[in-house]
Amino acid sequence: MFRFSSAVTPKAMHESSVTQPAWAGDITRNMSNCTTPYSQGRIPLIALYSTVLIIGLPANIATVFMTFLQVQRKNVLGIYLLSLSLCDLMYLGTLPLWAAYVSAGHEWMYGSLACKVTSYVFFNNMYISIFLLCCVSIDRYVAVVYAVESRGLRRQKLAGTITLVICLVVALGHVPVFTMSEGDADTGDKRCFEPGQSTAMVTGFNYARFVIGFFIPLGILVVTNHSILVNIQASTGLRPQQKAKVRYLAMAVIAFFLVCFGPYHIILLLRAVMYHFPSFQKGCHFENSIYTPYTISLGLSTFNSALNPILYVLASDNIRKEIRRGLASFRSRSALQRPFTDSSQHKMHNSKNSSDMATVRENKVT
């Protein structure tokens, strides 16, 4: 659904006959006769999007507030976590449109521009989120492994600059979304970036997304978290419980990354590789067999937005302290209001008794 693929239109077929080998046009014509099983997984996918939105929206709004407080306290990690939460909120903002699209039988009703803009925001925030996760792991690695030297390296200004560069590079890298015919939802069946027969441009794009957007970040996460584990295990100043917590967090970071982004990018790689074997693409078997795994992998990639606040923010000691401070402040305000309310009620009760006694005296006089 949200992958760059070739729309079957007269214009796309003409372009493929000019820029691709002769067999590409034959395969594209064969693909036009294929009926993609859109009904498979429609309800589970809508339910998945709804669940991620219900969990992720309040969780990320809360973490935006808490991480903003950390940024005000000059916390470097807070810059990355705040940016990650804002990124996830934008990512979640596209889910209602995709849910409506799936519910309508994969018919985009909002026009080509809205299709391309929504896809642009969706893809941008997916990869900005991935790169920010790498920044979080690198920052933790520097803070743990180079505890003394990092005092001069870990600066909020540097973290803000890195975040800005990531956003700009990813945004520029996805500008081709607006030029691809896969987003022309005003024509034909009104599909919006549905998986289909790849072109040379889309194939190169998918290779780049797999290597730059998944394989390299995975390597960064593995190396940094392994180094953190080695350093923590060698420390004599930490209790076994503290070491176990760090170990479980490192394992969870890599596991969630693989579960959320691994299947999606493996399917992207598979589609890119299959482009070089046209004999396997004739007919509808490959596309029909890959569609259900593709929708499942796409749904898994959205889970990351709901998991990030739990995995990174709540695992931060500073954020947990912020939560405890907030809860303590709330309890103290409640405790202060209760005596005030009780004393007010007591005063009102005494006033009422005094008034009743005065009335009785007046009746006796009269």
- Enumerate the domain spans of the chain: 40-321
Helices and strands: H and E segment counts in the chain: 13, 0
| The pLDDT of residue 232 is above 80 | yes
Tally of CB atoms within 10 A around 62: 16
- Judged on CB neighbours under 10 Å (0-12, 13-18, 19+), 22 is exposed
Which positions ≥6 away from 138 have C-beta within 8 Å? 220, 224
The model's confidence at residue 165, banded by pLDDT at 50, 70 and 90, is very high
pLDDT score at 341: 53
HSE at residue 64, side-chain half, CA atoms within 13 A, is 14
| The pLDDT of residue 20 is above 70 | no
Tally of CB atoms within 10 A around 14: 11
- Judged on CB neighbours under 10 Å (0-12, 13-18, 19+), 194 is buried
The mean per-residue pLDDT over the stretch 59-68 comes to 89
pLDDT score at 355: 53
Higher pLDDT, 165 or 361: 165
In sign, the C-alpha dihedral spanning 140, 142, 147, 149 is negative
Q: Are 199 and 7 in contact (CB under 8 A)?
A: no
pTM of the model: 0.77
The mean per-residue pLDDT over the stretch 292-311 comes to 84
pLDDT score at 363: 47
| The pLDDT of residue 311 is above 60 | yes
User: Helix 42-72 and helix 95-103: axis angle, to 10°?
Assistant: 180
Nearest to 224 by CA among 260, 256, 249: 249
Nearest to 143 by CA among 87, 75, 71: 75
| DSSP state at residue 105 | T
The region of weakest confidence among 23-27, 207-211, 326-330 is 23-27
- What's the N-to-C CA distance of the chain in angstroms? 90
Pairwise CA distance, residues 7 & 14, whole Å: 12
Q: Are 217 and 130 in contact (CB under 8 A)?
A: yes
Which residue type is seen at 215?
F
Pairwise CA distance, residues 79 & 312, whole Å: 13
- Judged on CB neighbours under 10 Å (0-12, 13-18, 19+), 335 is exposed
Q: Give domain 40-321's CATH number out of 1.20.1070.10, 3.40.50.2300, 1.20.200.10, 3.20.20.30.
A: 1.20.1070.10
Residue identified by tokens 């005494």 is: 350
